[in-house]
């Protein structure tokens, strides 16, 4: 059981309305709030159930009514000082939060049956949250306030959640007082001498805590004796650490538990019996606590670290567990997180050669940064045990690498598929091999040429109906040279968008168009994404060879576009969509690093003869799936620098809705900001849904884009920009995915 002295999340003013009280209940996620008057006296408790009962009893419920009307005024509470065991007996029968009140009925704590969460300052850590990373400065400040502050600053830069210090009152701590160590054993004498030299006074420590507050980083501290504990309590620490060395110091445990703030308790150099003894003390005090597995040697041999003991600690303490590390390097804390540590403590120093044991096992600031980064990466990688979902990248790779059912001969509409008509071949664009049984015996409703894929639509056994589309802006279909005729047979788009592969760039247009043929529509061209030799267009590249080739490839796309124009009736110059580049394999650039890259893009474009085309820069996602894996896009991702590029160089955009929504999600900004900023620079639209930060190309209505809002904004900001539905794999089964998207988009566009 825990006595939570952080009562603010539970308290609601007695004058609050039902709605205000409900808001508090949903914020604290405890299903109950306590109504307190101006003196802090509890006047009633209001649970979810109380509100429900009140609602059904009202002829016309009014959420603006006083919460007190719905509250339980005959509630269970306990007096401060009630033994924990007695309080524990009151839980059950719907009661899992009990107000603890002083002799005047004022709320002083909330008793809960035990929660595996701790809140330290601004940070709550629980089973499902990122781990709490503590930068242990300890005494590595060498008794110097400025050095202590610098260490705090380094911890902030490294991204730790909390910094930690140690406080000692040498006179109270050592039997021989603060200076006389002569009679001590060699080890103790060495430690005492160091501590005497390098400790900070309480006042200096407070100064450093103030610096932590100014840097907005949570700070905790280990009191090594009772006076230090009291001094820390006077400052008002949001949490306390108990060193392994104090696990058997039950008076200290009890004193600190009485402060009511969370306790993080190390268990090094202790027997299991001593650990359970400490747990009993903490429980009897109702202290919110976590236990840390620790090997109290400096540096600790890996064979003694024993991360698996965290499982046992979780059982013994029925609490959150973590790891306080004294080994070399930082791979063990990273592994500890993967093994369930919710708290990591690791020492930090500016110089490993300074005097004192701790410096040797401390991380330098850049190492601490690396540890924090790697822990966060591992936490992301841990994922969940929910049913497996394929990432967009995997889906793409699956098309390239997996197998499909294909026809062994030319099959005619009306024929029934037999085993001899079907074989398994790569790529994985059609029905998957395990769907063969479902396909056999199906009567085809279309011709399937030899080597062509069978699709889900073939199983449905009915032809796909295509309706006439009419949108209040021009609409088109993404096509390839080899499939546009088939799509034109079933639909009448205003334009075709030729999505070029590097191989398509080599093809002779005469293969696809009769000489003199002119199709009665316009067209756009999307430059290839990938070229042989893993080459990607990168007009921002500092590498001259890549940059020069990128310029050449863009020119080839422009030239092809001019050639294609002969076969279309275009009133305006055709739009060409280019992914301009600026990606990196391993990181995102800071905003100020992006501008020189845009300048480089522009220099490259100035070398391209753009006569007769409208070159546009496609807006890009933060994590493109290039060459089968995750990369990092930097340019045309955030609106400010994208708009800067457009305005500075008089350039236009192809706004890819999926890409830009992913960017908005990644940068945790409203998508509307992206649309408002980039909308008026938009020449062309790729309309498609998206999920998360890298789920692109999603079918309309199956992701997170608000299409009504999108349509309203685009009608205002880019009313004439044409669009295509750019659904990933939308072309299979003769454009099935594109037509589904168009069917859905009719509602808004």
Q: Which residues bind ligand PEP (CB under 6 A)?
A: 138, 166, 222, 241, 243-244, 266, 268, 292, 294, 296, 324, 345
Min. distance of Cβ 288 from ligand PEP in angstroms?
Answer: 17
Min. distance of Cβ 346 from ligand PEP in angstroms?
Answer: 10
Compare residues 268 and 604 and give the one whose CB is closer to ligand PEP: 268
Compare residues 292 and 444 and give the one whose CB is closer to ligand PEP: 292
Strand partners, 123: 120
Min. distance of Cβ 208 from ligand PEP in angstroms?
Answer: 15
Strand 117-120, strand 123-126: pairing: antiparallel
Compare residues 293 and 734 and give the one whose CB is closer to ligand PEP: 293
Compare residues 268 and 703 and give the one whose CB is closer to ligand PEP: 268
Let me know how long the chain is: 749
List own/partner pairs for 673-677 with CB under 8 A and 24 or more apart: 673/639, 674/639, 675/709, 675/710, 675/713, 675/714, 675/717, 676/713, 676/717, 677/639, 677/640, 677/642, 677/643
Min. distance of Cβ 265 from ligand PEP in angstroms?
Answer: 9
Phi, psi of 33 (to 5 degrees): -135, 155
DSSP assignment string, 16-34: -BHHHHHHHHHHHTSSEEE
Compare residues 34 and 224 and give the one whose CB is closer to ligand PEP: 224
Sign of CA dihedral 447, 450, 456, 459: positive
Query: What is the C-alpha to C-alpha distance for residues 303 and 120, in angstroms, rounded to an integer?
Result: 32
Compare residues 346 and 659 and give the one whose CB is closer to ligand PEP: 346
Compare residues 345 and 656 and give the one whose CB is closer to ligand PEP: 345
Q: Is 688 helix (H, G, I), strand (E, B) or coil?
A: coil
Element at 274 (helix H, strand E): helix 272-284
Min. distance of Cβ 267 from ligand PEP in angstroms?
Answer: 8
Compare residues 164 and 681 and give the one whose CB is closer to ligand PEP: 164
Q: Is 507 helix (H, G, I), strand (E, B) or coil?
A: coil
Min. distance of Cβ 331 from ligand PEP in angstroms?
Answer: 18
Phi, psi of 167 (to 5 degrees): -125, 130
Min. distance of Cβ 327 from ligand PEP in angstroms?
Answer: 12
CA distances from residue 507 to 400, 482, 500, 515, 564 in whole angstroms, order as listed? 22, 10, 10, 15, 12
Strand partners, 294: 324
CA distances from residue 535 to 233, 541, 545, 547, 551 in whole angstroms, order as listed? 62, 12, 11, 11, 13
Min. distance of Cβ 268 from ligand PEP in angstroms?
Answer: 5
Min. distance of Cβ 369 from ligand PEP in angstroms?
Answer: 21
Compare residues 244 and 654 and give the one whose CB is closer to ligand PEP: 244
Min. distance of Cβ 253 from ligand PEP in angstroms?
Answer: 13
Query: What is the C-alpha to C-alpha distance for residues 444 and 244, in angstroms, rounded to an integer?
Result: 74
Compare residues 225 and 458 and give the one whose CB is closer to ligand PEP: 225
Structure token digits, residue 251: 């008076």
Strand 723-725, strand 320-325: pairing: unpaired
Query: What is the C-alpha to C-alpha distance for residues 40 and 110, in angstroms, rounded to an integer?
Result: 13
């Amino acid at each position: 059981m825990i006595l939570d002295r952080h009562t603010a999340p539970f308290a609601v003013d007695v004058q609050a309305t039902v709605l205000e009280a409900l808001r508090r209940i949903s914020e604290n996620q405890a299903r109950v709030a306590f109504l307190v008057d101006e003196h802090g006296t509890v006047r009633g408790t209001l649970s979810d159930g109380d509100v429900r009962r009140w609602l059904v009893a009202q002829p016309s419920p009014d959420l603006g009514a006083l919460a007190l009307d719905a509250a339980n005024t005959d509630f269970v509470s306990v007096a401060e000082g009630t033994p924990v065991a007695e309080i524990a007996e009151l839980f059950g029968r719907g009661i899992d939060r009990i107000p603890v009140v002083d002799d005047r009925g004022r709320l002083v704590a909330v008793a809960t049956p035990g929660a595996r969460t701790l809140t330290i300052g601004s940070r709550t850590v629980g089973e499902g949250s990122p781990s709490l990373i503590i930068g242990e400065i300890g005494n590595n400040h060498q008794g110097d306030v400025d050095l202590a502050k610098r260490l705090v600053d380094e911890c902030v830069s490294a991204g730790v959640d909390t910094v930690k210090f140690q406080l000692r009152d040498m006179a109270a701590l050592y039997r021989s007082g603060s200076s006389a160590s002569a009679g001590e054993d060699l080890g103790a004498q060495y430690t005492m001498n160091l501590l005497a030299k390098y400790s900070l006074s309480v006042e200096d420590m407070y100064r450093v805590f103030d610096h932590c507050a100014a840097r907005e980083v949570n700070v905790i501290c280990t009191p090594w004796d009772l006076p230090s504990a009291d001094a820390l309590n006077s400052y008002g620490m949001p949490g306390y650490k108990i060193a392994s060395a104090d696990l058997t110091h039950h008076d200290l445990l009890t004193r600190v538990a009485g402060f009511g703030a969370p306790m993080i308790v190390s268990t090094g150099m202790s027997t299991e019996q001593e650990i359970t003894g400490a747990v009993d003390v903490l429980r009897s005090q109702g202290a919110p606590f976590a236990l840390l597995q620790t090997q109290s040697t400096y540096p600790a041999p890996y064979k003694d670290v024993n991360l698996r003991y965290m499982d046992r600690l979780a059982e013994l303490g029925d609490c959150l567990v973590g790891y306080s590390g004294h080994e070399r390097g930082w791979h063990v804390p990273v592994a500890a997180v993967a093994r369930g540590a919710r708290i990591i403590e690791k020492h930090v120093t500016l110089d490993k050669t300074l005097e004192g044991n701790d410096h040797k096992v401390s991380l330098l600031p850049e190492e601490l940064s690396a540890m924090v980064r790697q822990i966060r990466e591992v936490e992301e990688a841990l994922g969940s045990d929910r049913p497996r979902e394929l990432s967009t990248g995997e889906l793409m790779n699956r098309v390239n690498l997996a197998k499909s059912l294909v026809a062994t001969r030319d099959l005619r509409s009306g024929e029934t598929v037999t085993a001899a008509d079907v074989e398994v071949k790569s790529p994985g664009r059609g029905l998957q091999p395990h769907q063969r049984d479902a396909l056999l015996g199906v009567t085809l409703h279309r011709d399937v040429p030899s080597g062509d894929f069978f699709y889900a639509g073939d199983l449905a056994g009915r032809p796909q109906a295509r309706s006439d589309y009419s949108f209040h802006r021009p609409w088109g279909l993404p096509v390839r040279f080899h499939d546009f005729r088939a799509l034109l047979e079933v639909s009448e788009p205003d334009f075709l968008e030729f999505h070029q592969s590097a191989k398509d760039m080599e093809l002779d247009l005469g293969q696809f168009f009769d000489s003199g043929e002119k199709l009665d529509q316009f067209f756009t061209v999307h430059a290839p994404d990938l070229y042989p030799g893993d080459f990607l267009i990168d007009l921002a590249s500092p590498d001259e060879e890549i940059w020069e080739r990128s310029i050449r490839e863009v020119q080839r796309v422009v030239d092809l576009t001019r050639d294609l124009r002969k076969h279309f009736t275009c009133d305006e110059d055709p739009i060409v969509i280019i992914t301009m580049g600026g990606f990196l394999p391993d990181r995102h650039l800071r905003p100020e690093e992006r501008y020189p890259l845009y300048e480089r893009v522009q220099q490259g474009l100035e070398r391209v003869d753009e006569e007769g085309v409208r070159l546009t820069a496609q807006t890009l996602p933060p994590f493109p799936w290039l060459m089968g894996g995750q990369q990092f896009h930097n340019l045309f991702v955030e609106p400010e620098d994208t708009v800067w590029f457009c305005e500075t160089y008089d350039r236009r955009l192809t706004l890819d809705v999926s890409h830009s929504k992913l960017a908005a999600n990644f940068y945790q900004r409203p998508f509307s900001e992206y649309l408002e900023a980039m909308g008026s620079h938009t020449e062309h639209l790729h309309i498609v849904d998206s999920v998360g930060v890298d789920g692109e190309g999603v079918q309309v209505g199956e992701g997170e884009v608000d299409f009504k809002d999108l349509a309203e904004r685009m009608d205002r900001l880019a009313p004439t920009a044409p669009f295509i539905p750019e659904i990933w794999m939308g072309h299979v089964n003769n454009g099935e995915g594109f037509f589904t998207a168009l069917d859905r988009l009719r509602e808004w566009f």
